[in-house]
Chains A and B, each alone.
Chain A
Amino acid sequence: MIQLKSLTRIFDDKPVLDAINLEIPEGSFTSLLGPSGCGKSTLLRILAGLDQPSAGTLLFDGEDVREKSATLRNIAMVFQSYALYPHMTVRANIGLPLAMRSMSRLERLPLVTALLPSARRKRAANGREVERIAAMLGLTELLERKPSELSGGQKQRVAVGRALVRDPKAFLFDEPLSNLDTKLRGQMREEISLLHKQTGKTFIYVTHDQTEAMSLSDQVAVMMEGHILQVAPPRILYSRPANTKVAAFVGEHPINLLTVKPVGTALQSPFGAFVLSEAWDGDIILGLRPENIALVENGPLQGRVTRVDYLGGHTLLDVELSEGICLRVADEEGPLVPAVGNVVQLSIAPQKIHLFKAESGERLPLEVRQRGEAV
């Protein structure tokens, strides 16, 4: 278990990480998701021991590791740029962490390695381990090549192999797939997922790509501007976002947000008239995901299409409601093929509406019903 307690990192008087609290259970797959510059990479570097927190505690299995170097923490890291040593073969790249750990300074000297029996033995054992890992990752044929002779996916595998060979306590991934093309990305995603199941180790994965975070993780920590906004399993993150920022960030298409003022339990909005399960005094932000709005032949809402983006599986529409309010709609390809200028009818599912407090943006724990439905 890795615990972060009010962890803070300040660069030039600006907090890049502001009192981060996070628990990463043993063997879990945890993603740090956020836009670039939100501090997620800094957090990863602190976990790796490459950077020091300005304040707060970092516990590995209850032990404070702030003073420990990356090696002593036994953490492996896969970098976005792969960071393979260009002058070494694949074999040497994967074998270096092993050599650094198992052999003494003396045994590592070039000539001594050939002469000392203990060094020879260790080198042979390391060599076997490297070959085992290489076979596992399908790199056996490439062992004698230099990184410059490898494709992106192969480099990525070597980087993973170099992490794997040390049998670390946890794996850290820093946007490992962002340099790959879409197809390879999907494939590598599967491989990383498989690797997590095979090793059963803690994986901590930094990404700005929510598809990666959602599809791989047991829990996702959404970060923005140095804060963790929500830590939750992917499903909860999508279905019960803790605030408007998470709601806006998670989801394939940006969520529709609209501020309205309820009167008691009655809620009159451009999306229709609703009833709250409890009265609420103050402005409310309604959140409605584009994919929860459907084009229907006969719906309660009507609007004019102002933009159409055809995306293959579905179509993204901007529909201007009569009140001059624009609604984003993600329509599964249905019988209706809308065009710009068409007037369309929409229906929404009230139970899919998210409610947030207007002043803080936090989730409002209330239910919504369509007006007129039975209580």
Chain B
Amino acid sequence: MIAARYLSRAVSLGLLLLGAAIILLPFFWMISLSLKPADEIFQDSIQLLPSHFEWNNYVVAFTKMPLWRFLINGIIVCCGILILQILIAVPCAYALTQRDFRGKAIVMGMVLAGLLVPYHVTAIPLFLGLSQLRLLDSYAALILPFIASVFGIFLFRQFFATIPKDLIDAARVDGLSEMSIVWRIAFPLAWPAATAFAVFSVVAHWNDLFWPLIAVSSPELATPPRGILFFRDVEAGSSFGPLMAATAIVTAPLVLVFLMAQRAFIQGLTMTGLKG
């Protein structure tokens, strides 16, 4: 019996390790490449570890291109999007759960329908609209298209639906306006959902390459993934070492943020009944 249990554990553990290895391999390869000297990168044989650490790739990454600029752009864009998304999604979600108004069901249906539309579909109309407004090639072009997040509305709605009506009524009796209730009562209670949403939002927009490629052309507005593309030099060929070093640097903040917010993130997902 005991042997069988150990065996089944060993099998499941082995499968999990295999899965982890498959997922981690590209990251490992990225870091390995970022530390290899240029001639080693193009060797025929596969070598997991560099023969010696070539830290110079990282120096080149920062000096050849304004990598700091890309990172700061990424922070500006992600923070701008996240703050505006929350400013819009939280009151919307509150209205959809705790208020009664005509057409509520229709609005909710539209939110759900909105979840099904991939944002690439709207890219061309958005591009044309922004061009009419003469906003292309600006931070506004990177931020504005994403500020109304149906996913955010949906996630907060799921969370607000669990807030007892009595609590909202108590706040009304205590003299809070509806907006005060949103920000003083509902939003602090939805903190786990907000963390989960923040992780989703930041990851999506930090990594996004599609929209920055369309919306901006000036290098000084490039977000991190867009900036990495500048390492692919058309004339001099690609310098893969620095490119990989830049990629590693660009990935690092996300990994750090997720590790820090991990618990709240998982809590936020399980508490909204949005598992998986």
A80 to B167, alpha carbons, bound, how many Å?
11
- CB pair B172 A70 closer than 8 Å: yes
Q: Is A77 interfacial (CB 8 A cutoff)?
A: yes
Contact of B164 among A48, A77, A83 (CB under 8 A): A83
- CB pair B166 A81 closer than 8 Å: yes
> From A168, which residue of chain B is reached at the shortest CB distance?
B173
> From B172, which residue of chain A is reached at the shortest CB distance?
A70
Contact of B170 among A69, A83, A87 (CB under 8 A): A83
> From A80, which residue of chain B is reached at the shortest CB distance?
B166
Contact of A79 among B170, B175, B184, B185 (CB under 8 A): B170
Known: A81-B164, A100-B180. A162 touches B174 (CB 8 A): yes
Q: Is A164 interfacial (CB 8 A cutoff)?
A: no
Residues on A with C-beta less than 8 A from B171 are 85
A50 to B171, alpha carbons, bound, how many Å?
11
Q: Is B220 interfacial (CB 8 A cutoff)?
A: no
Q: Is B66 interfacial (CB 8 A cutoff)?
A: no
Residues on A with C-beta less than 8 A from B164 are 81, 83
- CB pair A75 B174 closer than 8 Å: no
Binary A-proximity of B163-194 (CB < 8 A = 1, otherwise 0): 01011011111111000100011001101000
A81 to B172, alpha carbons, bound, how many Å?
16
Q: Is A97 interfacial (CB 8 A cutoff)?
A: yes
A76 to B171, alpha carbons, bound, how many Å?
11
- CB pair A71 B188 closer than 8 Å: no
Complex interface residues of chain B between 54 and 79 (CB less than 8 A to chain A):
none
Residues on B with C-beta less than 8 A from A85 are 167, 170-171, 185
Known: A79-B166, A83-B166, A85-B167. A50 touches B174 (CB 8 A): no
User: Interface centre among B169, B188, B189, by most A CB within 10 Å?
Assistant: B169
A86 to B162, alpha carbons, bound, how many Å?
13
- CB pair B180 A83 closer than 8 Å: no
Residues on A with C-beta less than 8 A from B169 are 45, 48, 50, 77, 79, 83
> From A162, which residue of chain B is reached at the shortest CB distance?
B174
Complex interface residues of chain B between 115 and 173 (CB less than 8 A to chain A):
164, 166-167, 169-173
Residues on B with C-beta less than 8 A from A81 are 164, 166-167
Q: Is A192 interfacial (CB 8 A cutoff)?
A: no
Complex interface residues of chain B between 188 and 218 (CB less than 8 A to chain A):
188-189, 191
A76 to B175, alpha carbons, bound, how many Å?
10
Interface SS majority for chain B:
helix
A62 to B170, alpha carbons, bound, how many Å?
26
How many chain B residues touch A (CB < 8 A): the figure is 17
| Shortest distance between the CB of A77 and any CB in chain B (Å) | 5
- CB pair A70 B173 closer than 8 Å: yes
Q: Is A101 interfacial (CB 8 A cutoff)?
A: yes
| Shortest distance between the CB of A112 and any CB in chain B (Å) | 15
A307 to B184, alpha carbons, bound, how many Å?
58
Binary B-proximity of A313-343 (CB < 8 A = 1, otherwise 0): 0000000000000000000000000000000
Complex interface residues of chain A between 60 and 99 (CB less than 8 A to chain B):
69-71, 75-77, 79-81, 83-87, 96-97
- CB pair A48 B189 closer than 8 Å: no
| Shortest distance between the CB of A174 and any CB in chain B (Å) | 8
Residues on B with C-beta less than 8 A from A79 are 166, 169-170
A85 to B170, alpha carbons, bound, how many Å?
9
| Shortest distance between the CB of B271 and any CB in chain A (Å) | 13
Residues on B with C-beta less than 8 A from A100 are 174-176, 180
- CB pair A71 B173 closer than 8 Å: yes
Contact of A48 among B167, B173, B184, B188 (CB under 8 A): B173
- CB pair B175 A86 closer than 8 Å: no
| Shortest distance between the CB of B194 and any CB in chain A (Å) | 12
> From B171, which residue of chain A is reached at the shortest CB distance?
A85
> From A50, which residue of chain B is reached at the shortest CB distance?
B169
- CB pair B188 A76 closer than 8 Å: no
**Which 10 interchain pairs have the tightest Cβ spacing?**
A83-B170, A100-B175, A71-B175, A83-B166, A97-B174, A79-B166, A70-B173, A87-B188, A77-B173, A81-B166
Q: Can you list 15 A-B contacts (CB < 8 A)?
A: A48-B173, A49-B173, A50-B173, A70-B173, A71-B173, A76-B173, A77-B169, A83-B164, A83-B166, A83-B167, A85-B167, A87-B189, A97-B175, A100-B176, A166-B174
Other 15 A-B pairs with CB < 8 A, given A85-B167, A96-B174: A49-B173, A70-B172, A71-B172, A77-B169, A77-B173, A79-B166, A79-B170, A81-B164, A85-B171, A96-B176, A100-B174, A100-B180, A162-B170, A162-B174, A166-B174
